[in-house]
Structure 1
Amino acid sequence: MSHSAPSVSIRPEALRDQLASLLDGRVRSVELALDEVTVTVDAAQYIDVMQTLRDAPVARFEQLIDLCGIDYADYGDGRWEGLRFAAVSHLLSVSLNQRVRVRVFCPDDDFPVVPSVMHLWNSANWYEREAFDLYGIVFEGHNDLRRILTDYGFIGHPFRKDFPLSGHVEMRYDAERMRVVYEPVSIEPRENTPRIIREDNYGGLH
């Protein structure tokens, strides 16, 4: 029985240049940092770019191995001036032994929407539901966009930067009513300020 030799991945610089040429005119940028290639694309070109990355012979990213949301509010100590929400995918080409990250920004901060890629990769189903649940990003075209981690009656999106740490409601079991009940949060919000202790001869150092 013969075995085919494993694919040898190309260098990250070469992959960046190859994808930049393949996607020329359709993306904001193709960047290399820490030996990882990141493609940034607008929502209007997202599906076209993702289909190209799956199907083009030099790309062949057959697998979507992760997708998550990002909230850029207060990013960089408030210096961020771009759009607030983005969805980030990680694609893997088993046949060519290469990986790429794709970042797509939602064009509307108040109602973040990007197209779903479920029709390209089935694995996007639960990932997009998670990003919807935690960040409120709507994936247009997803055929079952429901919450997946929080409870049915949950209000808000807990990974957004403006979501209160204590949440909006708390849950407890009511023995008299013999069911779980929701009530306003009783925890008083507080700010924890780290306390720094400096000792002149700490650890025997002078």
Structure 2
Amino acid sequence: MANKLETLIESLRTVLGEAKIASLKNALGEVTIEVPAAVWSEVALQLRDDAGLHFEQLVDACGVDYSEYKDGAWEGPRFAVVYHLLSYKHNVRLRVRVFCADDAFPVINSVVDVWPAINWFEREAFDLFGIVFQGHPDLRRILTDYGFVGHPFRKDFPLSGYVEMRYDAEQARVVYQPVTIDPREITPRIIREENYGGC
């Protein structure tokens, strides 16, 4: 396995060069590279098409919010997209991380033309993190309702949300109302009640 990963690292450095790899790590039996957002589209094509790499399958992609990472000690861009690629030809996996340049309006180029399987993954990252994938053919919400306000996987999104949805029989439609949640007592009964258990 180590020999296969060393071969992959050598191929990545040869094909992509130092300018297209911001960082490269080999940990826990997997290689992770960080690619600048400006060259991501070009790198994605090289990862797929170069005979020495041949990552023909995208297994997974997800958004990440680093704002509270390492107990708030994180210094760097807030949003990233992490891609997991598989090469059937070389029987090896690769993790690619691409940071969005702007924290206020995170944008990254879509790679749906390179790996069509990423279509719904990009829609999910857009819906849950608010990351905009430039060039995506159908970028719209996929898990939350179209009228949903905010992006629920962002670290600054409130745990109870902003609005709640319910069906109103009188209006014969779904209505949104401000969240009304009563505070709960979360102290265990054995601490809260002195005579719990007959003692």
Provide the TM-score with structure 2 as the length reference. Answer: 0.88
1:14 maps to 7
CA contact (8 A) 1:70 1:85 kept: yes
Q: Which amino acid aligns with 1:59?
A: L
Name the CA distance, whole Å, in 2 between partners of 1:189 and 1:57. Answer: 59
For the aligned residue pairs, the C-alpha RMSD in angstroms reads 2.1
What SS is found at the alignment partner of 1:187?
Answer: coil
Give ranges in structure 1 of 5+ residues lacking alignment. 1-7, 198-206
Q: Tell me which protein shows more helix as a share of its residues.
A: 2
2:92 pairs, out of 70, 74, 98, with 98
Letter matched to residue 180 of structure 2? S
Give the aligned residue type for 2:26.
Answer: L
CA distance in 2, matches of 1:191, 1:133: 32
3-state DSSP class of the match of 2:171?
coil
Residue 27 of structure 1: CA displacement?
A: 1.4
SS at match of 1:124: helix
Within a 5 Å distance, the mapping from 1:54-203 to structure 2 comes to 54-188=48-182
Partner amino acid, structure 2, of 1:20: R
How far off is 1:52 after superposition? 0.7
Q: Contact 1:20–1:30 at 8 Å: present in 2 too?
A: no
Q: Structure 1, residues 128-172: CA drift from partner, whole Å, max 9, x if none?
A: 001000000000011110100101110100000000111110112
Q: Runs of 4 or more off by more than 6 Å in structure 1?
A: 189-194
Q: Secondary structure at the match of 2:140?
A: coil
Other-structure match for 1:50: 44
Using the alignment, how far apart are the partners of 1:84 and 1:13 within structure 2? 31
- What is the CA distance between 1:21 and its match in structure 2? 2.8
Please state whether the residue corresponding to 2:35 is helix, strand or coil.
strand
Matched residues, percent identical? 61
2:20 corresponds, among 10, 13, 26, to 26
2:116 partner letter: N
Amino acid paired to 1:18: S
Structure 2: distance between partners of 1:150 and 1:139: 18
Q: Deviations over 1:14-53 (max 9, x none)?
A: 3223212322221101211101101101110111111111
* Structure-2 change in CA distance of 1:9 and 1:53 (3 Å): farther
